[in-house]
Structure 1
């Protein structure tokens, strides 16, 4: 009996160690999970214009084609279960922005290239915890005669899978984010650990929801201003409505979510 108890304990500890190892690996893309998936997003600007975005999925919770007001808005491509391209389209159907994602042999994101006519290349590196991500930015613009010229380092700091700080070495401002403790709209999306990096300028793929965005002069110098978010939740603590207020406290836009 004692032998069986010891064997069970060893197996339990082994499984626990493997689980912890996977949690700390920044290269592991989120596997399919059970949970709410946003199906439709309605954005209402205070000027009165409204746009409706419809999200389609493949393989349970992978982004597929996304439509805005009936027109193709975004298209996601996967290779060997890794997200490899993200194409964004203008309302006229023309390709506007293409993102190419590159991985190492451990399936860890090491580079992404953003092509919108001019090209920004980002080399990605991680600290030991995976919570500090540095993006080394290079810029190409054939029309201006610029060829893969170094621009700056952008440092992203994450906590609980949420982007909490963003600063560029030569950016005019830096940003800190505050969050609630509820479920984020896109919490159950496949590849969220990659999306939170490649869409660092508009963080929306964290664990929780942004409640305040705080702007500072470069490298967190002088506080400049804040923008706030007022959130109404459903019974499962996912957002149903998010109101976004500008720095003067004036309502700027409202988002409605259907799951």
Structure 2
């Protein structure tokens, strides 16, 4: 039987008197694309922060590849094989895109420069930034910065990647490229957990959706099941 690559076990996270997450549990299996869905403020990004080590849970455990990584700091989580992107991209704005990519590739993974250069071209091709790789990151629009953020995460060669709203700000015409990128990441053997509000991405890219509302998991299933769930319709769509 295939073991989960990631297990979120009864995670609770409080900020003072606010309960951001309460008893959230689900499993992610190797090669899957799992969506985290819910209204603004539901706790989705908080959960990514707990998985990635930015936050320590008040209760519960995070298991990655059979190891308890609860309370591990972000740099340790990254070295174990988990990379992530953020809602607000965090590039080195005074560096070129190439230089941004070389930081995790050469220093994080200690690759030889010539090997990193070869991988760099493949990654920039994937995220459709090859023609801009010598531009300064600070000159890019937000959509391109999100793709640079994704490129930097992929340069770490993760086994699991956490994507936080990579389609935000994209036009309708750009969504097919986002779907193509996610599919290519899957083909690379990387497992994906994605937070996204763009429904076309959720419906067409993921195997399973976990829905959180007010910090509580209210539904889990394939996209069709979740979209027709009465609790989801009430909580997410306000019906």
Length-normalised TM-score, structure 1: 0.30
User: Relative contact order, CA 8 A, sep 6+: which one is greater?
Assistant: 2
Structure having the higher Rg: 1
Length-normalised TM-score, structure 2: 0.32
By percentage of residues, which structure has more helix?
2
